[in-house]
């Protein structure tokens, strides 16, 4: 079955950087838009960023614009999220998502999810 495997999470001080990776297997990777969601303790899962199949367009939630950058390498079946200037409010489990429809206004459009990677930003 399809698997999305995230990596790169960890503990970082405020102002620091992390790079998340998500590698897909058993997925026609270049047929899917790819994205990242996050879920903080006690909160709903929220959209963070997404990128279209051919990297032609990318999208960000307002709170991460200018700090996070999404990219993908279709040859490696991998999507990345470079996170700079991290803040304590970025602390969450980050989930990789594959969405054939490229609709990101809710979790209901996501076709496949990863298991998540924890990002903790200390103040």
* pLDDT tens per residue, range 30-48: 999 999 999 999 999 999 9
Alpha-carbon distances, residue 44 vs 72, 85, 107, 119 (angstroms): 26, 23, 10, 16
pLDDT at 28: 96
Q: Burial code of 63-82, b = ≥16 C-beta within 10 A, e = fewer? A: ebeeebbbebeeeebbbbbe
pLDDT 10s digits, 89-100: 999 999 999 999
Contact assessment for residue 86 and residue 121, using Cβ atoms and an 8 Å cutoff = yes
Owner of token pair 């209901």: 108
């Amino acid at each position: 079955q399809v698997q999305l495997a995230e990596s790169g999470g960890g503990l970082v001080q405020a102002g620091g950087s992390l790079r998340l990776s998500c590698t897909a297997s058993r997925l026609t990777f270049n047929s899917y838009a790819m994205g990242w969601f996050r879920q903080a303790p006690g909160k709903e899962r929220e959209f963070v960023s997404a990128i279209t199949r051919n990297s032609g367009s990318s999208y960000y939630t307002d709170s991460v614009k200018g700090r996070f950058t999404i990219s993908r390498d279709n040859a490696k079946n991998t999507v990345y999220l470079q996170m700079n200037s991290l803040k304590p409010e970025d602390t969450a489990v980050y989930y990789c998502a594959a969405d054939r429809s490229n609709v990101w206004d809710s979790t209901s459009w996501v076709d496949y999810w990863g298991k998540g990677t924890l990002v903790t930003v200390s103040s």
